[in-house]
Amino acid sequence: NAGVTQTPKFQVLKTGQSMTLQCAQDMNHEYMSWYRQDPGMGLRLIHYSVGAGITDQGEVPNGYNVSRSTTEDFPLRLLSAAPSQTSVYFCASSYGTGGTLVTGELFFGEGSRLTVL
């Protein structure tokens, strides 16, 4: 079972560059989300999706875009990277309860470590 797969695991960008962090899950989960983890701050929600074609903003959405064209994939796009976006990014998914935001057990990927110079 692959679970939640994130690529790349490591990335270094220069300020102003754009890139996409990939996330795929093979559990047919409706709910998918992106978090960033910074030292001493816990995880903060960037964007989430409750199903294909449906996305919404989380706590810290500025500078990031998402789309959900399939149930399996939920890519996170950095439009113009800034040093403040240096962080570890986690994708997570759960069964949820179709159409609502109430989540069940959350499954995480291994993380993508991004450095912006």
Partner 1 sequence: KQEVTQIPAALSVPEGENLVLNCSFTDSAIYNLQWFRQDPGKGLTSLLLIQSSQREQTSGRLNASLDKSSGRSTLYIAASQPGDSATYLCAVDDYKLSFGAGTTVTVRA
Whole-angstrom CA distances from 33 to 13, 39, 83 are: 23, 20, 22
Residue 76: which H helix or E strand, with range? Answer: strand 76-78
Six token digits for residue 12? 């270094």
Question: What does the per-residue mask of binding to partner 1 show for 41-70, with x meaning CB under 8 A?
Answer: xxxxx--x---------xx-----------
Distance CA 96, CA 81 (A): 31
40 forms part of the interface with partner 1 (CB under 8 A): yes
- Only one of the segments 13-21, 22-30, 37-45, 68-76 lies at the binding site for partner 1 (rule: CB under 8 A); that segment is 37-45
Residues that bind partner 1 (CB under 8 A): 4, 33, 35, 40-45, 48, 58-59, 90, 92, 101-111
